[in-house]
Structures are given as structure tokens and as C-alpha cells.
């Protein structure tokens, strides 16, 4: 699953877990975008913070893992390049790119889309406000055999978005229960999304520290 993850939230995690279950995936690799090609005009948080939040969010699911390929690669983070890289990392594996329905409706504008769809399947998760019945109509420009490589999947309607979470933090409104607690703590400790605030450096001790008897000693 690729994303800007600024911040990662339960909408992303529920979609990823739904796809893992429905398509019997061995694992889901979360790949924060280095420079999302569709958000060049938008200010996004430094990759190191988005990486930390993603790592914190993945902790409780043994099937979830992480790759930094996109943040390490210079230039725009085109998904087609990432999928080529994933095919090199997992030779012979069937790859599914998990995405939201809104993103898939824009797929015709993605870089080298036909090549991309020939390399992996797409799983489009429904998201409140986006109707998947339009898919065929919106993507009519795609050859039929490529259109067939896009699956749709219903996930519980979680009206959660990163944009809303950033706005809530700026306005001092709660973000609790919209995203994992460790990510919430990270946002406040580092000072992300507050107007004019310069975020602190990532806190590498962000993961819970366990005492010898297994008690959680300190968390962010």
C-alpha cells in the first residue's frame, strides 16, 4: 500500500487489513511516498516523520511490514517504479497495490498506467463519498484486459482522512480514535501540524520500551 501517510490513520489500516484478508495476501508492505507525484503543489511533512508514524502504526499487526524504497529514491515517487522494485524484491510473487477508490478513479493520470497495471493488480477500497459503480465509466479509456486487473473491495465506511486529522490538530480538536494511539502521541510530542511550529526531530525511542518483566516502561 502506497501513500503519503501524513498521517497514517485507521482508514488506511482497515483497508490494508481488509485487502489482506480478502485477497489472502501473505503480507502488506506499507510504502510512504518520498515525493508524491500528485501532491507537488502541496506542503507535506518531512519523510522522516511520515516514516516514524507509519512504523508506529504497523506494530500491532504481524502481517504488516514497511519499505523505504520511495523515500530513498530521488525524484517523484512513481508507483510504476516502486512496483518494478517490489517485483525484484519478491520474484514470482503476485502483487496487489492497495488504494482508495478516489485514488483509483484518477488512475488514468498516473505515470505509465498501462505498464503499471500489467505488473500488478489494483485493489480499490470503497471510501465514503466515492461510488465504485463509476469505475468502468471513469476508466473507459483503459483496455478491457487492464480494467479487469482492478478489483474493488468494500471496507467499513471510515470517514477518516489525513487532511481532517491535520486540520483538527491545528484547531486543537481531538484526533483520538481516528488513528493509533502511538501515532497520536508522536504527533503531539514532535509538534506536527501546528501552524508555524517547526517539528522536532523524530524520536527514535518512539516504540514502547519494555521493562524486563514485560511491563511497558515508556511510550511516546
Give contact residues for ligand DND (rule: CB under 6 A): 2-5, 11-12, 15, 33, 36-39, 77-80, 99-100, 102-103, 110-111, 125, 127, 155, 158, 160-162
Residue 199 C-beta: closest distance to ligand DND, Å: 18
Which residue's Cβ has the minimum distance to ligand DND?
100
Measured from the CB atom, the residue of 8 and 220 that comes closer to ligand DND is 8
Residue 209 C-beta: closest distance to ligand DND, Å: 29
DSSP string, 164-180: HHHHHHHHT---BTTB-
How far is the C-alpha of 64 from the C-alpha of 9, rounded, in Å? 14
Residue 86 C-beta: closest distance to ligand DND, Å: 12
Q: CA nearest 208: which of 187, 188, 190, 183?
A: 183
Measured from the CB atom, the residue of 162 and 220 that comes closer to ligand DND is 162
Residue 77 C-beta: closest distance to ligand DND, Å: 5
Q: CA nearest 34: which of 64, 56, 67?
A: 67
CB atoms within 10 A of CB 95: 15
Measured from the CB atom, the residue of 4 and 210 that comes closer to ligand DND is 4
What lies within 8 Å, CB to CB, of 142 at 6+ separation is 108, 113, 114, 117
Amino acid at each position: 500500500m502506497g501513500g503519503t501517510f501524513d498521517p497514517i490513520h485507521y482508514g488506511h489500516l482497515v483497508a490494508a487489513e481488509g485487502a489482506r484478508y480478502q485477497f489472502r495476501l501473505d503480507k502488506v508492505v506499507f510504502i510512504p511516498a518520498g515525493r508524491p507525484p500528485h501532491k507537488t503543489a502541496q506542503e507535506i511533512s518531512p519523510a522522516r516523520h511520515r516514516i516514524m508514524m507509519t512504523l508506529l502504526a504497523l506494530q500491532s499487526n504481524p502481517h504488516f511490514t514497511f519499505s523505504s524504497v520511495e523515500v530513498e529514491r530521488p525524484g517523484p515517487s512513481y508507483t510504476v517504479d516502486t512496483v518494478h522494485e517490489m517485483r525484484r524484491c519478491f520474484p514470482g510473487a503476485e502483487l496487489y497495490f492497495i488504494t482508495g477508490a478516489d485514488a483509483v478513479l484518477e488512475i488514468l493520470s498516473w505515470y505509465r498506467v498501462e505498464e503499471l497495471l500489467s505488473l500488478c493488480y489494483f485493489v480499490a477500497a470503497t471510501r465514503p463519498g466515492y461510488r465504485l459503480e463509476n469505475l468502468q465509466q471513469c476508466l473507459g479509456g483503459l483496455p478491457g484486459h487492464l480494467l479487469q486487473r482492478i478489483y474493488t473491495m468494500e471496507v467499513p465506511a471510515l470517514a477518516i482522512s489525513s487532511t481532517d486529522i491535520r486540520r483538527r490538530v491545528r484547531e486543537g480538536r481531538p484526533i483520538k480514535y481516528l488513528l493509533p494511539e502511538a501515532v497520536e502521541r508522536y504527533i503531539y510530542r514532535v509538534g506536527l501540524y501546528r501552524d508555524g511550529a517547526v517539528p522536532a526531530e523524530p524520536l527514535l525511542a518512539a516504540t514502547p520500551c519494555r521493562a524486563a518483566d514485560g511491563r511497558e516502561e515508556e511510550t511516546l
